[in-house]
Amino acid sequence: MVARMGWGIPEQGWRKGPWTPEEDKLLSEYVSLHGEGRWSSVSRFAGLNRTGKSCRLRWVNYLRPGLKRGQITPEEEGIIIELHGIWGNKWSTIARYLPGRTDNEIKNYWRTHFKKKEKSSQKQEKRKAQTLKQEGQHHHQQQLEAGDIKIVNSIDDAKMHEAPEKQEIYFMYSTLEDQRLPVMSQDVASWADSVVEDYYGLWGGLWNLDDHPQGQIAHTSNCKKLSMQNEATTCSFGGDSKNIYSGL
Binding-site ranges for DNA (CB under 7 A): 1-8, 15-19, 36-41, 50, 52-54, 56-58, 61-62, 89-93, 103-105, 107-109, 111-113, 116
Shortest distance in whole angstroms from residue 125 CB to DNA: 19
Contacts of 220 (CB under 8 A, 6+ apart): 192, 193, 196
Distances (CA, A) of 107 to 76, 77, 97, 104, 111: 13, 12, 14, 5, 6
Shortest distance in whole angstroms from residue 63 CB to DNA: 9
Q: For 243, list phi and psi in degrees, rounded to 5.
A: -80, 135
CB atoms within 10 A of CB 199: 21
Q: Which of 43/185 has CB closer to DNA?
A: 43
Q: Which of 90/161 has CB closer to DNA?
A: 90
Looking at this protein, which amino acid is placed at residue 2?
V
DSSP-derived pairing of the beta strands 240-243 and 180-184: unpaired
Q: Which of 68/150 has CB closer to DNA?
A: 68
Report how far residue 192's alpha carbon sits from residue 237's, in angstroms, rounded to the nearest whole number.
Answer: 12
Shortest distance in whole angstroms from residue 112 CB to DNA: 3
Shortest distance in whole angstroms from residue 87 CB to DNA: 7
Q: Which of 56/212 has CB closer to DNA?
A: 56
Shortest distance in whole angstroms from residue 159 CB to DNA: 45
Q: Which of 8/205 has CB closer to DNA?
A: 8
